[in-house]
Amino acid sequence: MTAAATVQRPPFARWLATTNDITRTFLSAGRIPGLINMAGGLPAPETFPIAEIASIAREVVETHAHEVLGYGPIEGLPDLRDALAKRFSSPALALTRANVFVTSGGMQGLDLIGKLLLDEGGVIAGQFPTYLGALDAWRPRSPTFRNLVIDDPAFDAVAAIQGAQFAYTVPNFSNPTGKMVGVETRQALVDAAHATGTWLVEDDPYGTLHYDGERLPRMIELSARARPGEAYAGPVVYMGTLSKEIAPGLRIGWVIAAPEMIEALTMAKQGSDMCTSGVTQRIALAALEAGLIERIQPQVLDLYRRRRDALCAAMREHLGDWLDWEVPVGGMFVWAVGRDPALNTDLLLPHAMAAGVCVTPSSVFDASGLNRRAIRINFTLNEPERLAEGVRRLAEALTTMQAPRR
Amino acid sequence: MTAAATVQRPPFARWLATTNDITRTFLSAGRIPGLINMAGGLPAPETFPIAEIASIAREVVETHAHEVLGYGPIEGLPDLRDALAKRFSSPALALTRANVFVTSGGMQGLDLIGKLLLDEGGVIAGQFPTYLGALDAWRPRSPTFRNLVIDDPAFDAVAAIQGAQFAYTVPNFSNPTGKMVGVETRQALVDAAHATGTWLVEDDPYGTLHYDGERLPRMIELSARARPGEAYAGPVVYMGTLSKEIAPGLRIGWVIAAPEMIEALTMAKQGSDMCTSGVTQRIALAALEAGLIERIQPQVLDLYRRRRDALCAAMREHLGDWLDWEVPVGGMFVWAVGRDPALNTDLLLPHAMAAGVCVTPSSVFDASGLNRRAIRINFTLNEPERLAEGVRRLAEALTTMQAPRR
């Protein structure tokens, strides 16, 4: 027994007791040998442009040593901010460095938005179901969630976001549902943000992972069209990341927003991690300048499209009695909903793990934890044969648990 | 006028209004041409081992591509955690991977400790004066500060930390005062933490920047001696960083603590930035394995010792009428206190800036902002001649403002 064990430690902050066990269960799933992990949102490592990044890494340290090895500006390296401003500008959307903020991965953008806008109990109008990582990021601030059910034909954007500290959406291939928010709804949300003043967070990690059909305009673009060509000062807070376009291990993301938001984010980041590594920022910039994303994108899209099709084919063969789903036009996930409303996918999880497959139950995408009818299945990480085997194991688990069919 | 400007935005969280203007003033000082910046805590860029890091950077991406470019474990790469456990172990202090947590720079450790331990109004027993960055990290959680005035002969460690969520100390060359906490006081704080259960944060960014005299044992070492050789489970939470030993731009820090603290930090980091870049973690590990710190340390210490001496010599020549100080045996700063209690260094700052020099006023190291009698002067960034010129400008500013002499 240690000395420490004889006395009581101060309690941890209250939010720590509110994290859910399901998340821990599937986070530990990676360590189980033979388990097919279709739970996470991981890119296929064979898509990483290893040789290019290795040689860029050396080059940037040699060429920009003092900049990349010292403390950098909190808001990001000026050259990277300029490059991102250029990348996301359009005739309507006029961006400068003052509109751009570099984050240590996409998750940090969510954390800082919470830090900046949420006092205890603050209201978030969040697209429902809601990205698990966003719920994790905001949980320590005990927010109140108002669910935006965008698909609802009666959806009223103004009523939905009015009075909230911010609205949160993933318009492209929403995590977890994989759905695209249509252009009319995007416009309605933008108009509502203009009318109410509410910040509208457009989280877009998957935007370039688009397999079929036409791309839709970003909400920040729609917002800029209200005052085309003016320096952007509107309510949309656009977030992106290199994690799905190049590699997550760089931990480089960005926020594009009105200068007042960028300045406030800078105050928030100062006390969080001071600045993002200059090494990884310069690697990101050199990769952008070298056109690395455009060069690898065709193969990435082709690979993921084939995996999506393989997953959906296997699902049609094995899961149709229990689940309904739409084939997503982009992103990383298929969202499958119990045909019978009584399906409880929290109960499915241990059966699935026993059968050697892991998927994500819908409860973790609901701040209240009540949505238990669906699962999220990832198709980017595993090869087609392994996806098919995972689906067979899932069918076995549904059979074992005597899940309701329709 | 933009559409956005016609409506009111939701208010930012309350803490944002409580940040102080002094900080912003000196943060923007870097952009003024000709200004001698003695305010920040910046290392000398000429100490960065550029060629070694450049070649390591390429190597780690080539050799560990999938590990460094993918998502890593939240708590850090296993090999880096093992290496840090080995580095800080001693016969008394038995550390394993389970005691080690990797952070995105030292600042993140402070942020996560606050996230984990502070509900609104939670009490921090903080060594006074207190590191500005720690105040920044915790301000969004509106803590209550209980000042630990360790130098006070009446200092009672148990009374000082009892009932606090955690105690915060910088025992080696405290920021801002540059003072060492003596071994008796270290032992008293450790004993008090054992007796009360209070977490005792030992923030040690400067430990290796030791110029004269003998090193003192770390508090985590003293804590382990109560149960020598047992797996460490005590109340000390030790924090370190590569920012002062190799280069800040890597943004690699660590926390060494009881496994229950490491597990809780993992939950906190998940929603903050998911994981630290594998690229910079592997660079850090390779640098540790190659003995880079030991190789560059003699020159770094020699350079900084000479700069400290040059600063103190110039101060003796020009500032003795106004200020008292001790020559620090380590770290990056000299702390100079007004001989006259009426000196107000907040008022000195604009005069100093006008004279072309920037130092840090004491008010920013006090959660209440009331301590206005002292300044913190950095000596690591500038060459001796520039330090002397900075001191001359400071004397000019003190003269101009008609600062009280004694």
And the tokens for B207?
Answer: 């430990």
Q: Inter-chain contact B7–A195, Cβ cutoff 8 Å?
A: yes
Q: Inter-chain contact B227–A133, Cβ cutoff 8 Å?
A: no
| pLDDT tens digits, one per residue of B259-317 | 999 999 999 999 999 999 999 999 999 999 999 999 999 999 999 999 999 999 999 99
The pLDDT of residue A4 is above 60: no
For an interface test with B, give the residue of A69, A201, A282 to mutate (most B CBs within 10 A).
A69
Q: What is the pLDDT of residue B6?
A: 63
Binned at pLDDT 50, 70 and 90, residue A31 comes out as: confident
How many residues does the structure list for chain B?
406
Residue A117 is nearest to which of B13, B43, B243, comparing CB atoms? B13
Say if residue A19 is exposed, middle or buried (CB neighbours under 10 Å; 0-12, 13-18, 19+): middle
Which residues from A are below 8 Å from B271, CB to CB?
107, 110-111, 133, 136-140
Q: Inter-chain contact B70–A62, Cβ cutoff 8 Å?
A: no
And the tokens for A320?
Answer: 């149709």
Range of weakest confidence among A19-28, B230-239, B240-249: A19-28
Chain A nearest C-alpha distance from B138 (Å)? 8
Which residues from B are below 8 Å from A227, CB to CB?
2-3
For an interface test with A, give the residue of B56, B69, B243 to mutate (most A CBs within 10 A).
B69
- Average pLDDT on B171-185 reads 95
Residue A233 is nearest to which of B5, B226, B258, comparing CB atoms? B5
Q: Inter-chain contact B9–A230, Cβ cutoff 8 Å?
A: no
Q: Inter-chain contact B117–A19, Cβ cutoff 8 Å?
A: no
The pLDDT of residue B26 is above 80: no
Which residues from B are below 8 Å from A61, CB to CB?
50, 53-54, 57
Q: What is the pLDDT of residue A213?
A: 92
The pLDDT of residue A2 is above 70: no
CA A82 – CA A284 distance, rounded (Å): 13
Chain B nearest C-alpha distance from A103 (Å)? 9
Q: Inter-chain contact B45–A68, Cβ cutoff 8 Å?
A: no
Binned at pLDDT 50, 70 and 90, residue B31 comes out as: confident
Binned at pLDDT 50, 70 and 90, residue A298 comes out as: very high
Q: Inter-chain contact B69–A50, Cβ cutoff 8 Å?
A: yes
Which residues from A are below 8 Å from B50, CB to CB?
61-62, 65, 69
Q: Inter-chain contact B251–A166, Cβ cutoff 8 Å?
A: no
Residue B10 is nearest to which of A117, A140, A230, comparing CB atoms? A117
Q: What is the pLDDT of residue B1?
A: 38
Residue B264 is nearest to which of A16, A54, A62, comparing CB atoms? A16
A114: nearest CA partner in chain B: B13
Residue A68 is nearest to which of B19, B107, B249, comparing CB atoms? B249
The pLDDT of residue A22 is above 80: no
Q: What is the pLDDT of residue A151?
A: 85
The pLDDT of residue A5 is above 70: no
Which residues from A are below 8 Å from B107, CB to CB?
271-274
Q: What is the 3-state secondary structure (H, E, C) of chain B?
A: CCHHHHCCCCCCCHHHHHCCHHHHHHHHHHHCCCCEECCCCCCCHHHCCHHHHHHHHHHHHHHCHHHHHCCCCCCCCHHHHHHHHHHHCCCCCECCHHHEEEECCHHHHHHHHHHHHCCCCCEEEEECCCCHHHHHHHHHHCCEEEEECCCCCCCCHHHHHCCCCEEEECCCCCCCCCCCCCHHHHHHHHHHHHHHCCEEEEECCCCCCECCCCCCCCHHHHHHCCCCCCECCCCEEEEEECCCCCCHHHCCEEEECCHHHHHHHHHHHHCCCCCCCHHHHHHHHHHHHCCHHHHHHHHHHHHHHHHHHHHHHHHHHHCCCCEEECCCCECCEEEEEECCCCCCHHHHHHHHHHHCEECEEHHHHCCCCCCCCEEEEECCCCCHHHHHHHHHHHHHHHHHCCCCCC
CA A272 from centre of chain: 20
Which residues from B are below 8 Å from A26, CB to CB?
none
Binned at pLDDT 50, 70 and 90, residue A95 comes out as: very high
The pLDDT of residue A172 is above 60: yes
Residue A274 is nearest to which of B54, B105, B275, comparing CB atoms? B105
A23: nearest CA partner in chain B: B267
Binned at pLDDT 50, 70 and 90, residue B248 comes out as: very high
Residue B45 is nearest to which of A66, A166, A268, comparing CB atoms? A66
| pLDDT tens digits, one per residue of A357-392 | 999 999 999 999 899 999 999 999 999 999 999 999
Of B278, B275, B290, which Cα lies nearest the Cα of B65?
B278
Chain A nearest C-alpha distance from B105 (Å)? 6
The pLDDT of residue B2 is above 60: no
The pLDDT of residue A36 is above 70: yes
Residue B279 is nearest to which of A7, A16, A57, comparing CB atoms? A57
Which residues from B are below 8 Å from A50, CB to CB?
61-62, 65, 69
Residue A279 is nearest to which of B110, B230, B250, comparing CB atoms? B250
- Percent of chain B topping pLDDT 90: 91
Q: Inter-chain contact B50–A71, Cβ cutoff 8 Å?
A: no
Q: Inter-chain contact A227–B50, Cβ cutoff 8 Å?
A: no
Range of weakest confidence among A97-106, A140-149, A292-301, B26-35: B26-35
Which residues from B are below 8 Å from A116, CB to CB?
12-13, 16
Q: Inter-chain contact A198–B10, Cβ cutoff 8 Å?
A: yes
- Percent of chain B topping pLDDT 70: 96
| pLDDT tens digits, one per residue of B190-207 | 999 999 999 999 999 999
Q: What is the pLDDT of residue B121?
A: 83
Q: Inter-chain contact A9–B235, Cβ cutoff 8 Å?
A: yes
Which residues from B are below 8 Å from A194, CB to CB?
3-4, 7
- Average pLDDT on B232-248 reads 96
CA A285 – CA B234 distance, rounded (Å): 44
Binned at pLDDT 50, 70 and 90, residue A17 comes out as: confident
Average pLDDT, chain B: 94
Q: What is the pTM of this model?
A: 0.96
Q: How many CB pairs under 8 A join A and B?
A: 269
Q: Inter-chain contact B2–A137, Cβ cutoff 8 Å?
A: no
Helical (H) or strand (E) element with A241: strand A236-241
The pLDDT of residue B28 is above 70: no
